[in-house]
Chains A and B, each alone.
Chain A
Amino acid sequence: MQTVTLTINQQEVSGHPEMTILELARESGIIIPTLCHHASLNPIGACRICLVENEVNGALLASCVTPIASGMIINTESSRVLEHRKMILKLMLASHPDSCLVCDKGNRCQLRQMAAELGIGSSELDRIPQTAVTEEVNPFLIRDMSKCILCARCIRACQELVIEGALDYYGRGFKAKPATLFKSPLENSECTFCGTCVALCPTGALMEKEEFYRGTIGTVVESTCPYCGCGCSISLEVKENRVARVKPAAEDTGPGTLCVKGSYGCDFIHSPDRLTRPLVKENGSFKEVSWDEALAVTADAFSRIKDKHGSDSLAVFGSANCTNEENYLLQRFARGVLGTNNIDNGSSLYYAAARQAFYDSVGFPGITYTLNDLTGTDLILVVGAEPAASAPLINYEIKRAVKLHGAKLILIDPRKTKLTLFADCWLRPEVDTDLMLLNSLAKVIIDENLVDREFIARKTENYQELLDSLATFSLETAAEVTGVSLEQIRLAAGLYATAGKAAIIFGTGIMQQLQGTENVKALLNLALLTGNIWRKGGGLRALLRECNAQGACDMGMLPDFLPGYYPVEDLPARKKFETHWQANLPSKPGLNALEMMQMAGEGKIKGLLITGENPVAGFPGSALVEEALASLDFLVVQDLFLTETARLAQVVLPAASFAEKEGTFTNLEGRVQKIRKAIEPLAESRPDWKIILQLAAAMNQPLPFNSLEQVQKELEELVPLYKYDWEEKSPKEEDYWETMAEHRLPLKRFPRFSPVEYLPPLKAPDTQYPFILLAESALFHSGSGSRSSKSGRLSRFSASYFLQMNKIDADMMKLQPGDRVKIVSPVGELPAVVEHSESLPRGLVSLPRSRSDYPVALLFSSPPETSASSSALQRCYVRIERSCSDEPEK
C-alpha cells in the first residue's frame, strides 16, 4: 500500500494516505493537545486547539482533520503554534465561568487540565460571559450550557454513536449551543438519557447527577454492565468503597456507549435496602443470624428433605444475573451434591423456545449468534423486538449499520417500534401470525429461486422436506391471515435473499408465543436458504434480557443439559463429568422453572434454592407461584434485596453485587467478559460463589475449589466453548465461527431445514376479553425490577403505570389520556392509567414489564403444555374497565 512520508517535529514519519496529521503524530508518540477530538467520533476540527504549523508554507492546520501529505514539514509546538493555541484557550476561558473551585467536574475537566498544561492562569481578556439556565429537572444529568465550549462531542455522540438525534446545534455564532429541538427540556425530547454525551463532555457543561460523592475519584475499575444481555463494558469509578460513578469503558473495539440503566442504574449497589446479614424465619418473622447459623439451617434442611423425599424433591433455580462461575458451581452443587437435574435459570421463560429450535435445526442449542458486530452487514431483519428498550446497544448498532454503513433494515412487528423510522420495509402482521409470515418469505425465496443452491447442497440437510411442506403453501392465504400485502411480502423476501450478508435479530416478541420454537425454526430456515448461517455479517441473534442469560445456559443451568450443552442422557458425556466431579449424576432431565413452581404447588418439590431470581414478580400467574413457594417445606433465597420471593423463604442469604466480586458474564453475542471487584462486599454480604461453596461444605460435601481461578480452570477443561483467552474480548479471525462450529461445538451433523406449520390460535379471542395485552420491556427497568427499582435515579424517573392503547380504541371506549382504568384478565386484575400510543395497532394494548411494585405478571396465566416450549407468553387477553374509584395511586 501507498505510504506518505513527511516530517513532524524534525522526525521523519510515514503513514497511509487516509491518516490525519494527528493520527500519525500520536502513532509516532508526539502529543498534540485536543479538545473537540475524540477517537470514537468523526473529527470536525471545531476547537482548533490542535493547530500545527506546516513550515513549508507557514499554514496553520487543524491536525485532527488535515490529511497527511508528502513533503509536509510539521511543527506541533513552534512559537507561532503555541501563541495561537494559547489565544484560543484564553478565548474559551474568557467565556467560561470562573467557578472551577466549586465545579463538580473538578480535576476531570479537560479545559482546566489544558489551561494548566499551557500555563494559562487567567485569561488576560475581559470576560465574555455566556448565560444559560441550568437544566436539572431529570434525575440523571445536569446541563449547564454556560460552561459549554461547543466542542460538539455531545451532538456527535447523539448523532453518530447512539443515533438518537436529540441534540444538534441551536442558534449561531456566539449564541450557538447544543440543544434539543426547539430547545425543549431533555425529558420532552428524543433523549433516552443514555449518558453518552455526559461521558464525553470535556467540561462541566454536562454532568451526571451524583448521589454519593463529589470530587476526585480514587480508583477506576473496568467491568461489565449487570443489566441486559448486551454486556457493555463499563468503568466503575470508586472512592472510599463506594461506586461513585459509572461510565462507558474506553473500548478499542468500538465506541463506548451505554443506556440509561448502565450509566445511572448501578446506584442500586448502595441502596439502603440491601440485605446486610443472613435472615432466618422464626415464627413467621425474620431474625438476623450469623452466617454459620444460616448455612447450618439450610444444609440441615436440604439434607433432611433429600434423605426423606429423595433428591428430586429438591430444585435449584439459578440466575441469569449471576456469573458463569457461580452458575457452574450452582449446577455442580445441584447435580453432584443434591443429586437432581431440577435446575433452571430465569432466562428459560423466554429463551427456551429459541434454544429448542436451535437444537433441532443446527444441532446445538446454545449459540444463536454468528457475528460480533453489525457494521459489516448488508441487511438486518428485526423480528418481534424493540431493542430500543430491551437491548439498547444492539439498537445503536442497528441504527449505525443503517445510517452510517448503508445496511438495509426490514422490520417485522405489529408495533410501530422506534426502529420503524430507519426501516426500508416494515411488515406489520396481525398478532401471533408471524409464523405464517415467515413461511411466506421462505416460499417467495424458493419460488423466485433466490436460494443459495451451493450452500444448501453442501452444508444443509432436509431441504426436500421443507420444499414439500411449502409445496401447497398459499401466499394469498398468508397475506389474508397476516394482513401483510403480497407486494410487501415479496419486497421483504427479495431484499433479504439478495442482500448478501443478512443478519436476523429477534426478540421476546417472537420467542414468547405458543409457536415460539417454530417461529425461530422458520427464521433459521430463512438463514439456511440464503446461506446466512455461520457467516460473518449474517446469522441470527436473540435479544437476551439478562447480563448472563447466555452464560447461565452455557454453564448447564438447565434441566436437560450439562455444562457445554451435553445432554444429561448422553452417557459418555455424563461419565466424563462424573469422573471429574467424583459423583453420580442423575440421568433423566429434570424440571424446568415453570414445572418447578407447578410441582411445588402440588407438593412434589419440597425444598428450593433460588439465587438472584424473583419468580413471584416475574412469573406468569404470580398469585399461584406465590402460593406454591409459600407451601414449600424449605425455601432459601440468595439475593441483594428482600424481594417478594425472599419474603417467602425460611432462610435469606445476603449476596454481594456484581461490583463486589470477580467473575465473567457471557453476553448475547457469546463474548465472555470479566467483571471485576471494585469494592468490598457491603456489610456481611458474600458473593454467590462463596455462598455455594460454603453451603456444600456445610452439607459435608465440599467442592474442591479455593478460588475462582480453579473454577475457571475446570470450566475450560470441561466446556470447550469456554476454552479461550479470558482477556480476549472478541474473536477476531474472519472464519471464527467456522472454526467454532468445526472444533469447539459438539456438532455431529449439518444444520437441518425444519418444516414448520402455522396453527391458528387455540382459543379464539373471547368477546369478554377483547384486547390483547403485551408486557413490554421498559428502557428504564430490567428483569423483574428488583435491582432497577432500587436505583434511586431510575425509579424516580417514570412513576406511573401507563396502559398504552391505540387512540381509536381509546376513543371508542371514551377514554382520555390520564383516565384510570382496571385491566382484567381471566386470572387477575390491575389498575392502570391510559395513555394514547402511536405505535400500537387497534386491539393491542401494552403495559411495562419489570417494575417490582407493579406485578404485570399476575395478569398472565401459566402457559398451556405445548410440544417443546417452556416459555411463558408475552401476551394475554384482557378487557379494560373504567375505574370506579378515583383514589389517586401511589
Chain B
Amino acid sequence: MSTLVEELACERVRPETDHRILVCGGIPCRSLGCRLVKEALEEELQKEGLTGRVPVEIIGCIGDCSLGPSLIVYPEGLVYQKLAPEDARAIVREHLVAGRIVEALLHRDPRSDEILRQREEMPFYREQARLVLRNCGVISAHIDDYLKYRGYAALALALAEMNPEQVIEEVKKSGLRGRGGGGFPTGRKWELVRTAHSDEKFVICNADEGDPGAFMDRNILEGDPHSVIEGIIIAAYAVGAARGYIYVRAEYPMAVHRCREAIAQARQKNFLGDNILETGFSFDLEIRTGAGAFVCGEETALISSLQGTRGDPKPKPPFPAQKGLWGKPTLINNVETVVNIPLIILHGSKRFAELGPEGNRGTKVFALAGKVNHTGLVEVPLGTTLRKIIFDIGGGIPNNKKFKAAQTGGPSGGCLGVESLDLPMDYDSLREAGSIIGSGGLIVMDEESCMVDLARFYLDFNQDESCGKCTPCRIGSKRMLELLQKITEGRGEEQDLEILEQLALLMKNGSLCALGRTAPNPLLSTLRLFRDEYLAHIKERRCPAGVCRSLVRPWINPELCKACGLCARVCPAEAINGEKGVPYEIDLEKCCDCLRCLKECPFNAISQGGISRAEAVD
C-alpha cells in the first residue's frame, strides 16, 4: 500500500496536457524580480503569438528558495531556476515553440553534478512529505484549480455523511496537534468548544505569523488559500460556529488579497454563507488584519485585537474555548493546523496517523534558513531527524563549514547542538532537549555564528515586542537585553550570568503570557550549551565566532608595531595615525572595520579583538 504522501503525489499529476507556466511568487523570488520574469515571458509569448494560449501565473512559493526566481512549466513539470528576464526568450522559443528543454536553466545537483529536471528529482523535494504544502507550487490560488484536486470534497463529505461529533472523533483519532507552537491536541480543543454552553460560538484562524524567519502560513495563504478555508469551515461545522475570522498580518498583503478573493469565490459556490451545499449548515468567514504586533499571535491578545482594542494578552483561564471572542466560546487554530483537516476527513484518521510517531502524528513544515545550502519551506513527517533535514534536504552547510547549532521555534525556542543532530524533531523530544518546534522556524548555524549574539538578537526582538503589561516581561526583558549587550560589547562581568539566569527564571515562571514565558528560551539554551562562549566574551573579551563587533575591532599591539606606516597608507578611512618611531594607533571612531590593515601588517602587530584592549593597556 502506498503512503498517503505518495497517494497525494499521484493525485497531483496534472490532468491537462496544454502548456502552462507557474512562476514562484515566494518572498525571495519576488524580491529577486519574478514579476519581471513573468512580464518578459508574456512579451515573448506575444512575439510568438502565443498570448492567451500559454497562461503565465504567479503562484505561491514553489519551495527551494535558493533557486529563485524559479518557475514550473507544465505539463512536463520542469523547474527552471535562477532566472533573469533575459531567460524568457529561451524558455519560450526553445521550450514552448521548439519543444527543446533549456538545460542551462535547469538545476544541477552540486554534489553529483546531475541535471535535475523535475521537483521530485531534487533531493530538497524528494525527501519531503508535502501534505500541508500539497498544493503549493502545484496549482494556482483560484478555486477552479483547487476543485480539480478534490477541493472541498472533504467539506462535502463531512457535511453529508458525518455529524459534528464524528468529525471531532476523526480529528481526535488522527492525533493532530496544534501547529502554531503550543502543540495542544486539536481534537480535544474542538471538543471543548463543542461542549461549551453558549448561544454563539466563533472560529478564528490564527494567521498572525510573527516569528522572524517563519513563513509557512504566508506561503499556504498565498499558494493554497482554499484548503485553509475548507479546513475552517469543517472546524466551524464541528464546533457549531456560525461566524469565523482569519486574523492575518497586515504585512502580508498578498496573503490578504488571495484570501479575500478565495473567500469571495467560496461564497459564490456556496461553500460559505447560508445553507452551505443545502445541508442547513450556515457559516461565514471574514478577514481581519493585525497591526504588526508579534504578541497578537498569542490567542488572548489576538482576540483583544480582533475586538478592536489594544492587543494585550489576558490571563488564562478562562481559555478562549470557554470565553473567547466577545466572551463566547471560540476555537483558535493555526493555518497549518486547519490545512491538515481536509486531508484527515478525506483520507481518514488512520491513514493520517501512519505518519509520525505516536503522539506526534502528521507532518510539520519547517522554515529552513541560515547556513545551509538549500533554504525554504521543508515539510517532513514529525520525528524526522535534524540531520536529515539539514544534510539530506537542505544539502548541508555551505563552504564546508562545520555545523554548530540549530535554532528552532523562533524567539520562543531554543538551540540544539551537534549532539542533537539525531534527535527526532517532534513536540516532545524537542521540549526535552530544551527547545520547541514552535511555529517551525529552523535556523542553521555554523562555526561563524556567535551564540551570545544570537541570544541577544532574540531577546532584543522579544523585549521590543513585549506588550509591557506584566512586570517580569516588561522590565525583566529590558534588563536582560542590557546585560547581554554589555557582554557582547566586552563589558560583561561573571556575576552578570547569574543575574541573567535569575531573570530568565523569573520571566519563564512569572510572566503573564507565553511571549514572556518563552522569551528567555534562546538565552537559557545557549547558556546551557555554549556557556564557554559566554565566558570567552566576559573573561577573555573575545568573540570566538568573530561576530560581536566591539570585540573584533582591529587593534595595533604597540609592542609589536614597528611604525612602518603601511597600515595607515592602506586605511581607506584614514583612521590610523602615527609617526616614525612611535607605535601607530587606530581611531576606532573613524575605523570602518574593513581589516585591510590587519592583512597588510608585515609584523602581525594588528589583531582582531583577541586580546582585550583593556587588558593590553593595563
Interface positions of A (Cβ within 8 A of B): 43-49, 51, 59-60, 62, 65-67, 84, 87-88, 91-92, 94-95, 125-126, 128, 149-150, 152, 168-169, 171-176
Query: Which residues of chain B are within 8 angstroms of A174 by Cβ–Cβ distance?
Result: 463, 466, 468, 474-475, 477-478
CB of B483 to closest CB in A, whole Å: 9
Q: Does B596 contact A (CB under 8 A)?
A: no
Q: How far is the CA of A171 from the CA of B471 in the complex (A)?
A: 15
Whether A92 lies near B512 (C-beta < 8 A) is no
Whether A173 lies near B478 (C-beta < 8 A) is yes
Whether B475 lies near A91 (C-beta < 8 A) is yes
Whether B467 lies near A44 (C-beta < 8 A) is no
Q: Does B354 contact A (CB under 8 A)?
A: no
Whether B471 lies near A46 (C-beta < 8 A) is yes
Chain B residue with the shortest CB-CB distance to A60: B509
Chain B residue with the shortest CB-CB distance to A169: B310
Whether A48 lies near B315 (C-beta < 8 A) is no
The 8 Å CB contact of A176, one of B469, B477, B499, B510, is B469
Whether A45 lies near B470 (C-beta < 8 A) is yes
The 8 Å CB contact of A44, one of B465, B466, B469, B476, is B469
Whether A92 lies near B471 (C-beta < 8 A) is yes
Which of B312, B475, B476, B479: most chain A Cβ within 10 A? B475
Chain B residue with the shortest CB-CB distance to A87: B506
Q: How far is the CA of A441 from the CA of B310 in the complex (A)?
A: 41
Q: Does B369 contact A (CB under 8 A)?
A: no
Which of A48, A51, A67, A84: most chain B Cβ within 10 A? A48
CB of B153 to closest CB in A, whole Å: 43
Whether B315 lies near A172 (C-beta < 8 A) is no
The 8 Å CB contact of A168, one of B310, B465, B482, B503, is B310
Q: Does B511 contact A (CB under 8 A)?
A: yes
Query: Which residues of chain B are within 8 angstroms of A51 by Cβ–Cβ distance?
Result: 509-510
The 8 Å CB contact of A91, one of B463, B469, B479, is B479
Query: Which residues of chain B are within 8 angstroms of A48 by Cβ–Cβ distance?
Result: 470-472, 510-512
Q: Does B172 contact A (CB under 8 A)?
A: no
Q: Does B48 contact A (CB under 8 A)?
A: no
Q: How far is the CA of A769 from the CA of B474 in the complex (A)?
A: 62
Assess A87 versus B502: contact at CB under 8 Å? Given A62-B512, A94-B475. Answer: yes
Query: Which residues of chain A are within 8 angstroms of B293 by Cβ–Cβ distance?
Result: 172
Query: Which residues of chain A are within 8 angstroms of B503 by Cβ–Cβ distance?
Result: 87, 91
Q: How far is the CA of A91 from the CA of B310 in the complex (A)?
A: 25
* Interface residues contributed by chain B, number (CB under 8 Å): 32
Whether B468 lies near A175 (C-beta < 8 A) is yes
Q: Does B314 contact A (CB under 8 A)?
A: yes
Which of B466, B479, B510: most chain A Cβ within 10 A? B510
Q: How far is the CA of A653 from the CA of B582 in the complex (A)?
A: 95
Q: How far is the CA of A485 from the CA of B131 in the complex (A)?
A: 61
Q: How far is the CA of A364 from the CA of B465 in the complex (A)?
A: 63
Assess A176 versus B474: contact at CB under 8 Å? Given A66-B315, A128-B479. Answer: yes
Query: Which residues of chain A are within 8 angstroms of B477 by Cβ–Cβ distance?
Result: 173-174
Assess A45 versus B466: contact at CB under 8 Å? Given A94-B475, A173-B478. Answer: no
Assess A128 versus B475: contact at CB under 8 Å? Given A150-B468, A172-B293. Answer: yes
Whether A172 lies near B467 (C-beta < 8 A) is yes
CB of A664 to closest CB in B, whole Å: 42
Whether A88 lies near B510 (C-beta < 8 A) is yes
Query: Which residues of chain B are within 8 angstroms of A168 by Cβ–Cβ distance?
Result: 310
Listed by A's residue number, 25 A-B pairs whose Cβ atoms lie within 8 Å are A43-B315, A45-B315, A46-B469, A46-B470, A47-B470, A48-B512, A60-B510, A62-B512, A65-B315, A66-B317, A84-B510, A87-B502, A87-B503, A87-B506, A91-B475, A91-B476, A95-B478, A125-B499, A150-B468, A150-B471, A152-B469, A172-B468, A173-B466, A174-B466, A176-B467
Chain A residue with the shortest CB-CB distance to B479: A128
Q: Does B464 contact A (CB under 8 A)?
A: yes
**New contact pairs (14) apart from A51-B509, A91-B506, A92-B471, CB-CB < 8 Å:** A48-B472, A51-B510, A65-B315, A87-B502, A87-B503, A91-B471, A94-B475, A126-B482, A128-B478, A128-B479, A173-B463, A173-B468, A174-B466, A176-B468
Assess A44 versus B315: contact at CB under 8 Å? Given A84-B510, A150-B474, A174-B478. Answer: yes
Whether B466 lies near A172 (C-beta < 8 A) is yes
Q: How far is the CA of A150 from the CA of B473 in the complex (A)?
A: 12
Q: How far is the CA of A573 from the CA of B153 in the complex (A)?
A: 87
Query: Which residues of chain A are within 8 angstroms of B502 by Cβ–Cβ distance?
Result: 87
Q: Chain B at the A interface: mostly helix, strand, loop or mixed?
A: helix
Query: Considering the complex, which residues of chain B in the window 475-500 have a beta carbon less than 8 Å from any beta carbon of chain A?
Result: 475-479, 482, 499
Whether A173 lies near B465 (C-beta < 8 A) is yes
The 9 closest A-B pairs by CB, nearest first: A176-B468, A65-B315, A91-B475, A173-B466, A174-B478, A45-B315, A60-B509, A87-B506, A173-B468
CB of B308 to closest CB in A, whole Å: 12
CB of B418 to closest CB in A, whole Å: 31
Whether B509 lies near A173 (C-beta < 8 A) is no
Query: Which residues of chain A are within 8 angstroms of B315 by Cβ–Cβ distance?
Result: 43-45, 62, 65-66
CB of A883 to closest CB in B, whole Å: 46
Which of B472, B478, B506: most chain A Cβ within 10 A? B506
The 8 Å CB contact of B471, one of A66, A67, A88, A125, is A88
Query: Which residues of chain A are within 8 angstroms of B509 by Cβ–Cβ distance?
Result: 51, 59-60, 84
Chain A residue with the shortest CB-CB distance to B506: A87
Q: How far is the CA of A59 from the CA of B512 in the complex (A)?
A: 13
Contact with A along B494-535 (1 / 0, CB 8 A): 000001001100100111100000000000000000000000
Q: How far is the CA of A51 from the CA of B482 in the complex (A)?
A: 26
Q: How far is the CA of A125 from the CA of B465 in the complex (A)?
A: 23
Query: Which residues of chain A are within 8 angstroms of B511 by Cβ–Cβ distance?
Result: 48
Whether A67 lies near B475 (C-beta < 8 A) is no
Query: Which residues of chain A are within 8 angstroms of B472 by Cβ–Cβ distance?
Result: 48, 87-88, 91
Query: Considering the complex, which residues of chain B in the window 145-184 have a beta carbon less than 8 Å from any beta carbon of chain A?
Result: none
Query: Which residues of chain B are within 8 angstroms of A62 by Cβ–Cβ distance?
Result: 315, 512
Query: Which residues of chain B are within 8 angstroms of A149 by Cβ–Cβ distance?
Result: 471
Q: How far is the CA of A46 from the CA of B312 in the complex (A)?
A: 11
Q: How far is the CA of A427 from the CA of B340 in the complex (A)?
A: 53
Q: How far is the CA of A88 from the CA of B507 in the complex (A)?
A: 10
Q: How far is the CA of A59 from the CA of B293 in the complex (A)?
A: 28
Q: How far is the CA of A174 from the CA of B471 in the complex (A)?
A: 9
Query: Which residues of chain A are within 8 angstroms of B463 by Cβ–Cβ distance?
Result: 173-174
Chain B residue with the shortest CB-CB distance to A80: B509
CB of A495 to closest CB in B, whole Å: 21
CB of A115 to closest CB in B, whole Å: 14
Q: How far is the CA of A149 from the CA of B470 in the complex (A)?
A: 10
Q: How far is the CA of A84 from the CA of B472 in the complex (A)?
A: 9
Query: Which residues of chain B are within 8 angstroms of A84 by Cβ–Cβ distance?
Result: 506, 509-510
Whether B475 lies near A92 (C-beta < 8 A) is yes
Q: How far is the CA of A572 from the CA of B502 in the complex (A)?
A: 83
Query: Which residues of chain A are within 8 angstroms of B512 by Cβ–Cβ distance?
Result: 45-46, 48, 62
Q: How far is the CA of A176 from the CA of B310 in the complex (A)?
A: 12
Q: How far is the CA of A624 from the CA of B315 in the complex (A)?
A: 65
CB of B304 to closest CB in A, whole Å: 11
Chain A residue with the shortest CB-CB distance to B294: A172
Query: Which residues of chain A are within 8 angstroms of B464 by Cβ–Cβ distance?
Result: 173
Query: Which residues of chain A are within 8 angstroms of B475 by Cβ–Cβ distance?
Result: 91-92, 94-95, 128, 174
Chain B residue with the shortest CB-CB distance to A62: B315
Q: How far is the CA of A49 from the CA of B506 in the complex (A)?
A: 12
Query: Which residues of chain A are within 8 angstroms of B479 by Cβ–Cβ distance?
Result: 91, 94, 125, 128
CB of B491 to closest CB in A, whole Å: 12
Query: Which residues of chain B are within 8 angstroms of A125 by Cβ–Cβ distance?
Result: 479, 499
Query: Considering the complex, which residues of chain B in the window 305-327 have a beta carbon less than 8 Å from any beta carbon of chain A?
Result: 310, 312, 314-315, 317
Assess A171 versus B468: contact at CB under 8 Å? Given A48-B510, A125-B479. Answer: yes
Query: Which residues of chain A are within 8 angstroms of B499 by Cβ–Cβ distance?
Result: 125
Q: How far is the CA of A47 from the CA of B511 in the complex (A)?
A: 9
Query: Which residues of chain A are within 8 angstroms of B470 by Cβ–Cβ distance?
Result: 45-48
Chain A residue with the shortest CB-CB distance to B483: A126
Query: Which residues of chain B are within 8 angstroms of A88 by Cβ–Cβ distance?
Result: 471-472, 506, 510
Q: How far is the CA of A150 from the CA of B471 in the complex (A)?
A: 8
Q: How far is the CA of A175 from the CA of B511 in the complex (A)?
A: 17
CB of B474 to closest CB in A, whole Å: 6
